[in-house]
């Protein structure tokens, strides 16, 4: 129990996982638009991969070099990190703290490897998994991007099978949503968040 005058405890972060191409990023953007009064903050991940067209450093990712990121990992500056598709991705402590410092719900869009490491850390979070309706639909979405070569698509599909096996495993996530229809999935996500954070989101 906090004493009167103590600063309020920041809301628990939410880890959002799902295979590449499942629509996590789109759902997060729509969730933030549904609550435009600053209830959510997006934890911006670090990565060593090259920016895609339209991506902005510090907004979509903190783009880094392999050398710089390895040094920061060694210095203990990351809650989680992983090597995915030949590139490093990670969530820094300062990235989460900057969101919590504003008393916002910190959203972490990370992969399964990262989620497993967060579970072993001191971060007390909720965990949500977004699944595709089928592997065939996921492949269609990945190809529809038009941003990657065949070998990269096959690698992502191979990884997706393992991610789905873990994501759909009993007890690994607090909630699992199947993104068959974006609007319906968004409303299901909003319902989960209102259940987790009634003091912040009810009545909105």
Provide the annotated active-site residues: 52, 145, 156
Residue 97 φ/ψ, nearest 5 degrees: -65, -35
């Amino acid at each position: 129990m906090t004493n009167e005058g103590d600063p309020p405890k920041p809301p628990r972060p939410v880890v959002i996982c799902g295979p590449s191409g499942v629509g996590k990023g789109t759902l997060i953007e729509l969730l933030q638009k549904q609550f435009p009064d600053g209830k959510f903050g997006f934890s911006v991940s670090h990565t060593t991969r090259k920016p895609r067209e339209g991506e902005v450093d510090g907004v979509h990712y903190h783009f880094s070099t392999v050398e710089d990121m390895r040094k920061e990992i060694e210095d203990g500056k990351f809650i989680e990190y992983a090597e995915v598709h030949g590139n490093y991705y990670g969530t820094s402590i300062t990235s989460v703290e900057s969101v919590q410092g504003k008393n916002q719900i910190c959203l972490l869009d990370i992969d399964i490897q990262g989620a497993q490491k967060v579970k072993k850390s001191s971060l007390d979070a909720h965990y949500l998994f977004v699944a595709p309706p089928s592997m065939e639909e996921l492949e269609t979405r990945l190809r529809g991007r038009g941003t990657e070569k065949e070998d990269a698509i096959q690698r992502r599909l191979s990884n997706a099978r393992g991610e789905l096996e873990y994501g759909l495993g009993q007890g690994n996530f607090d909630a699992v949503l199947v993104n068959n229809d974006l609007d319906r999935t968004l409303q299901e996500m909003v319902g989960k968040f209102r259940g987790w954070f009634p003091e912040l989101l009810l009545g909105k």
